[in-house]
């Protein structure tokens, strides 16, 4: 994601931001320069950049920064402004990201070079937005869809004969009455088979190894739990771990 997209996603997840005062906005925008744009120092123009990206009417940024410098919330030297350490730590704690989320974002940025499928890349970007908005369940569901889509395309491109052969033996009764007895395209997988059955056929045909079978089966169970109403709470950390393992082992681990 670009810095512009990161900022838009961040602000989109803050309830009531439109009602914030300019002073509160500028304080957050100062933190954005360090945490999102990775700047060591910033200028009034950098704060105005935030206003422009978000389509907010500009204000006298210099006036507010001067006031913050006087209160020692913002410091200044020959290279520009920077947020005071304790203030920055407060914003890090409230709006910062876990290290694993940053690692996942880097994987998403690398996907265009490693996985040519544009649909997968777009789904991953949307999943990261879900994480930033604390929508862990939605992120899990979307990333599962990417991983399963990737697995199916691997079968279609490299292991189709093995899959169709194993289908007839692993689920013989179902195959005999199936509407689609030979898989030809992606949509065929969902006509008669459940996702768990597709994974089981892949294991039977030695298309996936036992470790990958375990990962996919476990993650499918978590996807199912996230997709249905329940009292079980899904945390952001759980979603991050889910994404990390599926992306590394399936999306980036299986060539298509």
How confident is the model over 75-99, as pLDDT tens digits?
A: 999 999 999 999 999 998 888 765 5
The verdict on 228 and 150 lying in the same domain is yes
Residue 57 forms part of a structural domain: yes
The verdict on 203 and 138 lying in the same domain is yes
d(CA 118, CA 123): 9
pLDDT at residue number 49: 97
Cβ burial, residue 104 (10 Å; 0-12/13-18/19+): buried
The verdict on 83 and 110 lying in the same domain is no
Domain containing 50 equals 3-95
The verdict on 79 and 168 lying in the same domain is no
Triad 92, 59, 74: Cα angle to 5°: 35
| Band of residue 226 on the pLDDT scale cut at 50, 70, 90 | confident
pLDDT at residue number 94: 84
| Band of residue 11 on the pLDDT scale cut at 50, 70, 90 | confident
Residue after which a domain boundary falls, among 65, 95, 125: 95
Pick the more confident residue, 144 or 228: 144
Q: What is the CATH number of the domain that holds 70?
A: 1.10.10
| Band of residue 101 on the pLDDT scale cut at 50, 70, 90 | low
d(CA 55, CA 211): 49
The verdict on 87 and 128 lying in the same domain is no
The verdict on 115 and 90 lying in the same domain is no
| pLDDT higher than 90, residue 211 | yes
**Average pLDDT, integer, range 198-211:** 97
Residue 256 forms part of a structural domain: no
* 200 contact partners, CB below 8 Å, separation of at least 6: 170
How confident is the model over 119-174, as pLDDT tens digits?
A: 777 777 777 777 667 688 888 898 899 899 999 999 999 999 999 999 999 999 99
**Average pLDDT, integer, range 10-30:** 90
The verdict on 207 and 168 lying in the same domain is yes
Residue after which a domain boundary falls, among 55, 76, 95: 95
d(CA 170, CA 157): 21
The verdict on 134 and 74 lying in the same domain is no
**CA 188 vs CA 156, 157, 181, 219: distances in Å:** 10, 14, 9, 22
pLDDT at residue number 135: 80
The verdict on 148 and 61 lying in the same domain is no
Residue 245 forms part of a structural domain: yes
Pick the more confident residue, 252 or 27: 27
What total of structural domains would you count in the chain?
A: 2
The verdict on 158 and 82 lying in the same domain is no
| pLDDT higher than 90, residue 179 | yes
d(CA 232, CA 228): 10
The verdict on 91 and 166 lying in the same domain is no
d(CA 112, CA 216): 23
The rounded mean pLDDT for the chain is 87
Residue after which a domain boundary falls, among 95, 116, 139: 95
| Band of residue 60 on the pLDDT scale cut at 50, 70, 90 | very high
Cβ burial, residue 34 (10 Å; 0-12/13-18/19+): middle
| Band of residue 105 on the pLDDT scale cut at 50, 70, 90 | low
The verdict on 91 and 110 lying in the same domain is no
């Amino acid at each position: 994601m670009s810095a512009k997209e990161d900022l838009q996603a961040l602000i989109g997840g803050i309830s009531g931001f439109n009602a914030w005062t300019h002073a509160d906005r500028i304080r957050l925008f100062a933190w954005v320069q360090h945490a999102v744009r990775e700047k060591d120092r910033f200028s009034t123009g950098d704060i105005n950049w935030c206003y422009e990206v978000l389509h907010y009417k500009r204000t006298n940024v210099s006036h507010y920064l001067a006031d913050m410098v006087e209160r020692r919330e913002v410091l200044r030297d020959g290279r520009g402004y920077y947020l005071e350490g304790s203030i920055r730590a407060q914003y890090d704690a409230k709006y910062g990201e876990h290290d694993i989320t940053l690692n996942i974002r880097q994987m998403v940025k690398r996907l265009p070079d490693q996985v040519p499928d544009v649909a997968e890349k777009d789904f991953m970007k949307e999943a990261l937005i879900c994480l930033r908005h604390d929508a862990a369940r939605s992120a899990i569901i979307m990333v599962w869809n990417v991983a399963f889509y990737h697995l199916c395309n691997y079968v279609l491109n490299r292991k189709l004969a093995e899959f169709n052969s194993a289908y007839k033996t692993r689920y013989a009764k179902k195959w005999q009455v199936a509407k689609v007895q030979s898989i030809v395209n992606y949509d065929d997988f969902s006509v008669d088979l459940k996702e768990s059955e597709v994974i089981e056929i892949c294991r039977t045909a030695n298309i996936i190894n036992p470790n990958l079978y375990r990962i996919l089966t476990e993650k499918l169970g978590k996807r199912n739990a996230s997709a249905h109403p329940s009292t079980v709470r899904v945390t952001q950390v759980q979603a991050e771990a889910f994404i990390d393992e599926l992306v590394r082992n399936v999306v980036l681990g299986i060539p298509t």
